A and B are shown apart, each in its own frame.
Chain A
Amino acid sequence: MASPPDRPRRAHRALALLVAGSIGLLAACGSDAGSDAGGTTQAAAPTGDFRDEVQGLQRDDPIEVGDVVVPEVAADGSTTPFALKAEPGDLLFVAFGYTNCPDVCPTTLTDIRKAKALLDADESARVAVAFGTVDPERDTADVMSAYLGSFVEGGHALRTEDPAELKAAEDALGITSQVVKDPDGTVEVAHSAKSFVIDDQGRVVDEWAFGSGPELMASDLRLLLEG
């Protein structure tokens, strides 16, 4: 792979933590009075933090995933073929996970939702969101639809019951997943926590590590939309 460009990620992260820490005292504990302020942000400043350089990973030779098609499911179980490609002039955010994921997946989906909120409305409208399940057995169509819908409106819930089809999509993006059922009945899921931005040519134009946060995402999205 292309070597990632050096990015000021650590500094950004440190700043975010600092901000989080400094508001921590005020937001701590469930005071009724403070619920509004505490509920809107954790580390996020509502005004955003827009930079003039993309901070996610951009490859010299972008991955092409436009030929990858995964079924998009609706709540009623109907499916539509969904190509990993944005509408003309738009961008497509894609991440894979599973709905019983309490930590990573909701963090990422909350990040992109907040990132879109940091953008102007016309910019946000040009960023579609797709979330694919790596655990289709438990993540049925209605579950996926409701889950994604609780983060973003009009998101694309991707689900295939064909392991080969899932793997093809994952391979194209360079990600992996593994679902292991333990003898005691618990299900352990491992999956890549990265997220991707894909353009209207099906090229991956930006990749975000887990925890990149809404400010970074919004800043990148604005630059990519301008580009």
Chain B
Amino acid sequence: MLNPRTTVRAGAAAVAVGALLLAGCGSDSDGAAKDTSEKTTTTAAAEEIQISDVWARKSPMATTAGAAYMKITSPVDDALVGASVSSDIAGTVEIHETVMADEGDMGDDMSTETTMADDMSTETTMADDMGDDMSTETTMADDMGDDMGDGAMTMQPVDSIELPAGEEVALEPGGYHIMLLDLVAPLEVGDTFDIVLTFENAGEVTVTAEVRDA
């Protein structure tokens, strides 16, 4: 049963079942997705990749950047390795992670003379990617509560998001997000658009994001 194609299609069905009021969820192509969505088995949800709560924040005026979020639970070890949207929505899509910019140097001691700007200019002048210096930092979502240090954060592109078997991985504000660059038009509350997610094992899965004022 679990050849890759079956997995993808059944995965869409699992999303459909989980989301209950499916309208517009999963693939918008009326062929495969609708066929599979009729398999209203509850066991599928436990076996196939589940993607829920797919949303993007309303984009403020005057910006062309946006972000989409969701929750993903894979039944097997997998990884989210790509995402794309129609060119009608955004020019570029990247998987990003918001991280503490420099946890070690930006700790709780606010009286330090050393500013982050000073630190980072020395660290990054020879590096073409600021993200390289920050790749070991934890995400804000994990430790934000107790750390009232400087709290400087930045974003970095990531190649993949690991999805350990059975664990819900949240793409959420302050952590992982699907970054939408060069938005063609502002994202308005109530709008929906499809995101094609590419998983290492599960292949491509299309989900529909709802634009929220959240």
Contact between A42 and B214 (Cβ–Cβ < 8 Å)?
Answer: yes
Which residues on the B side are within 8 Å of A103 (C-beta)? 67, 96, 98, 155, 173-174, 177, 179
The docked-state distance in angstroms from the alpha carbon of A211 to that of B151 is: 11
Given contacts A29-B208, A107-B173, A191-B153, contact A149 B61 (CB under 8 A): yes
A101's contact among B20, B65, B192, by CB below 8 Å, is which?
A: B65
**Interface residue count on the B side (C-beta < 8 Å):** 74
A188's contact among B130, B174, B211, B214, by CB below 8 Å, is which?
A: B130
Which residues on the A side are within 8 Å of B2 (C-beta)? none
Given contacts A29-B208, A147-B62, contact A193 B140 (CB under 8 A): yes
* Stretch from B77-85, B108-116, B159-167 that touches the partner: B108-116
The docked-state distance in angstroms from the alpha carbon of A182 to that of B132 is: 13
Q: Which residue of A has the minimal Cβ distance to B141?
A: A211
Q: Does A54 contact B (CB under 8 A)?
A: no
Chain A min CB distance to B175 (Å): 8
Q: Among the interface residues B52, B111, B121, B154, which one has the most CB atoms of the partner chain A within 10 A?
A: B154
Chain A min CB distance to B170 (Å): 8
Q: Does B184 contact A (CB under 8 A)?
A: no
Q: Which residue of B has the minimal Cβ distance to A189?
A: B154
Q: Does B197 contact A (CB under 8 A)?
A: no
- B-contact bits for A28-54, CB 8 A (1 contact / 0 none): 111111110011111010000000000
Q: Does B64 contact A (CB under 8 A)?
A: yes
The SS class assigned to the A binding surface is mixed
Q: Does B23 contact A (CB under 8 A)?
A: yes
Contact between B145 and A177 (Cβ–Cβ < 8 Å)?
Answer: no
Given contacts A27-B53, A28-B25, contact A13 B145 (CB under 8 A): yes
Which residues on the A side are within 8 Å of B21 (C-beta)? 29, 31, 33-34
* Stretch from A65-73, A121-129, A168-176 that touches the partner: A168-176
Q: Does B147 contact A (CB under 8 A)?
A: yes
Contact between A190 and B54 (Cβ–Cβ < 8 Å)?
Answer: no
The docked-state distance in angstroms from the alpha carbon of A101 to that of B59 is: 10
The docked-state distance in angstroms from the alpha carbon of A167 to that of B115 is: 10
Contact between A176 and B115 (Cβ–Cβ < 8 Å)?
Answer: yes
Chain B min CB distance to A166 (Å): 10
- Per the 8 Å Cβ criterion, residues 119-162 of B in contact with A are 120-121, 124, 128-131, 140-141, 144-148, 150-155
The docked-state distance in angstroms from the alpha carbon of A44 to that of B214 is: 9
Q: Does B22 contact A (CB under 8 A)?
A: yes
Contact between B66 and A102 (Cβ–Cβ < 8 Å)?
Answer: yes
Contact between B153 and A150 (Cβ–Cβ < 8 Å)?
Answer: no
Q: Which residue of A has the minimal Cβ distance to B130?
A: A188
Which residues on the B side are within 8 Å of A110 (C-beta)? 57, 213-214
- B-contact bits for A1-36, CB 8 A (1 contact / 0 none): 100100001100100000011001111111111110
Q: 27 A–B contact pairs at CB < 8 A?
A: A1-B108, A10-B146, A13-B144, A28-B18, A28-B53, A29-B23, A29-B207, A30-B210, A33-B21, A41-B214, A102-B179, A103-B98, A106-B59, A110-B214, A142-B62, A143-B63, A146-B62, A175-B151, A180-B120, A180-B130, A189-B154, A190-B101, A190-B154, A192-B152, A193-B152, A209-B144, A209-B151
Interface set of A (CB-CB < 8 Å, partner B): 1, 4, 9-10, 13, 20-21, 24-35, 38-42, 44, 57, 99-104, 106-107, 109-110, 142-144, 146-147, 149-151, 167, 171, 174-178, 180, 182-184, 188-194, 207, 209-211
Interface set of B (CB-CB < 8 Å, partner A): 15, 18-26, 52-55, 57, 59-67, 71, 96, 98, 101-102, 106, 108-111, 115-117, 120-121, 124, 128-131, 140-141, 144-148, 150-155, 168, 173-174, 177, 179-180, 189-190, 192, 207-214
Closest 3 CB pairs of A and B: A29-B25, A30-B192, A176-B116
Additional pairs, 7, CB under 8 Å, beyond known A104-B98, A178-B116: A30-B210, A100-B63, A100-B65, A106-B57, A146-B60, A175-B152, A193-B140
